[in-house]
Amino acid sequence: MRMIPNEAQKAKMRKDGSTLKYMYGAVGAGRGIAAGGVTLMVCGAALAALVSSAGAAQVLVMGGAVILPGALLTLWGTAKQKKRDDGWVQAYMAGSGLSETEIRQAEAEFGEPESMLLGFAGTGKQDLRKAGFLTAHYLKLPGAEPRIYRVQDLTACFFTEKFLCPDGGYAKAVLLYTRDPEEFAYFEDVTEKAAGDMIQAVAAANPSVITSPYFIYEDREYDAVNQREEVVALHNRIMAQASE
């Protein structure tokens, strides 16, 4: 998915005045705890209705045994999630290595007309929460990880069908490299169409980005999938020479 968000979508994503906070809140233990509490209350209410014919005492027992704990779990989970969400700036700073000024600058740029959403799913509410975005100077990758890259720091973004997964198998994937060979990202089980949308957007924002997993430069063959350090070093060298 690659799309220019409309104003209604941008407004939906500015939860508490922050799109990045909205995206950061897509996951969290508190969210699961609160959902479990709500489920418990619903079940308790249903059970209470079943025993209502037995008298008020049985209903009160059911309420105390099931509904009350469910309510407490909901309150605890909601508070836990809020505490997590309120730390979104620090989370993005830690995950990205960027200053608070740059984190807020990336968010401000998302509000500009040229910014776009990137993702590997659709455009529903949950899809938007788990999407990434691309602005003039920053890339926030799709997914829940709070990480933002400077567009100028990107060196490669390509699709491969031969990504070696941690479990030893192979998968289709999108790989993203930066000037630092230790700072990279990947997305497994991505369709080539969805990958192509993201790659095209990144390459348009930074034309120096390598978009092929295999290429030849100065009579040397490069395998970007398995030679990350060599590919990053090549890109850094070329860019250094171009700036001289």
pLDDT tens by residue, 135-179? 999 999 888 789 999 999 999 999 999 888 777 788 899 999 999
At 191, the pLDDT band (50, 70, 90 cuts) reads confident
- Give residue 119's pLDDT band: very low, low, confident or very high (50, 70, 90): confident
Q: Give the chain's radius of gyration (CA, Å).
A: 23
Q: Establish how many alpha carbons lie within 13 A of residue 237's alpha carbon, considering only the half-sphere containing its beta carbon.
A: 8
pTM of the model: 0.77
Instruction: Give the pairing type, strands 148-150 and 138-140.
Output: antiparallel
* Domain ranges, ordered by start, for the chain: 29-85, 147-244
pLDDT tens per residue across span 52-84? 555 555 555 555 556 666 666 666 556 656 766
